[in-house]
Amino acid sequence: MENILEIKNLNKEYKNFSLRSVSLNLPKGFIMGLIGENGAGKSTLIKIIMNLVKRDSGSINIFGMDNLKFERKVKERIGFVYDQCYYYDHISLEENGKMVAKLYSNWDNEKFNRYLNKFSLNKKQLLKELSKGMRMKFSLCIALSHGAELIIMDEPTAGLDPIVRNEVLEELQRLLETENLSVIISTHITEDLEKIADYITFIKDGEIVFSTSKDEIEDNYRIVKGSKDVLTKEVESLFQGVSKNNYGFEAITNKGDEISRLLGDKVILERAALEDIMLLYKK
């Protein structure tokens, strides 16, 4: 399977934070979700991918090219969608498109207008008159109109109501079926990723906890609930995180079969959602 993005042993050191030995791959034509609490390193990783921040060591290949040596060629083929719409508020959507078109050799104005119509956006309307959801759709129009093959989205659905969020997610899925696209989405809204992501990368304190297919996570990770009486050292060694209270414990594990073998019906095992995994790993 061809990888559109390959990151190997990436490191970046700050005074109070560092990314350490980050490695991940995104196969072509798939969606990867980045999860992790605030300050975990998601935005830093995205900035390094975009070469907005210089890495200290490691390698990043996008479309088979080093993202530093071939920065211009790489960025020509990436569409970036922020949590905010950083274009020109005081001019129309059509005029914004003309401004952005100057930055890309592959700009397709016909495609830009087609996507404006698809998203029910009036090209004569001023950007400042759009709602947040419509601004997000406009950002997608821009990203899709210069032949982008990789779309990178940083908190794209933050602050959107559930209906608009769902519309954006459904459109992303449709685009993957019709366009030559791969997508990276960094978000705190794990429910969104459970709907559309193919791969999940979980970053905690600057390190990768896991980067794997969503199917593998669903198959392997379980929540374990039971009485604290069963918590021996052997049992706890099978947990990635555990929360204890006066009534018992709740833990996360990717070794459910071993837990069942050791404890049988003394505990309850349930399928873990991404949010459960994040919360219990923190414990």
- All domains of the chain, ordered by start, with CATH? 3-216 (3.40.50.300), 221-282 (3.30.70)
- Confidence (pLDDT) at 110: 94
Q: How many CA atoms lie within 13 A of 82 on its CB side?
A: 6
Helices (H), 62-118: 71-76, 93-101, 109-118
- Confidence (pLDDT) at 168: 80
Average of per-residue pLDDT across 145-165:
85
Q: Which long-range contacts (CB under 8 A, 24 or more apart) does 250-254 make?
A: 250/223, 250/224, 250/225, 250/280, 251/223, 251/224, 251/225, 251/280, 252/221, 252/222, 252/223, 252/224, 252/276, 252/277, 252/280, 252/281, 253/221, 253/222, 253/224, 254/220, 254/221, 254/222
Task: Indicate yes or no: pTM above 0.75.
Answer: yes
Average of per-residue pLDDT across 149-167:
84
Q: How far is CA 92 from the centre of its chain?
A: 30
Other CB atoms within 10 A of residue 132 CB: 16
C-alpha 53/C-alpha 18 separation (Å) is: 13
C-alpha 141/C-alpha 128 separation (Å) is: 16
For the chain, give the mean pLDDT. Answer: 91
Closest CA to 24 of 12, 9, 39, 35: 9
Q: How far is CA 256 from CA 133, 209, 232, in A?
A: 41, 18, 16
What percent of the chain has a predicted confidence (pLDDT) above 90? 69
pLDDT (tens digit, 9 = 90+) per residue, 253-276? Answer: 999 999 999 999 999 999 999 999
pLDDT (tens digit, 9 = 90+) per residue, 49-86? Answer: 999 999 999 999 999 999 999 999 999 999 988 767 77
C-alpha 184/C-alpha 6 separation (Å) is: 13
Average of per-residue pLDDT across 168-172:
82
Residue 228 phi/psi, 5° resolution? -65, -15
pLDDT band at 159 (very low <50, low <70, confident <90, very high): confident
- For residue 167, with 0-12 CB atoms within 10 Å meaning exposed, 13-18 middle and 19 or more buried, which class applies? middle
Average of per-residue pLDDT across 203-217:
94
C-alpha 121/C-alpha 270 separation (Å) is: 44
For residue 229, is pLDDT > 70?
A: yes
Average of per-residue pLDDT across 168-190:
85
C-alpha 177/C-alpha 24 separation (Å) is: 24
- Confidence (pLDDT) at 283: 65
- Confidence (pLDDT) at 133: 83
Closest CA to 43 of 209, 277, 279, 206: 206
* Token couple for 204: 């905690």
For residue 47, is pLDDT > 80?
A: yes
Other CB atoms within 10 A of residue 45 CB: 27
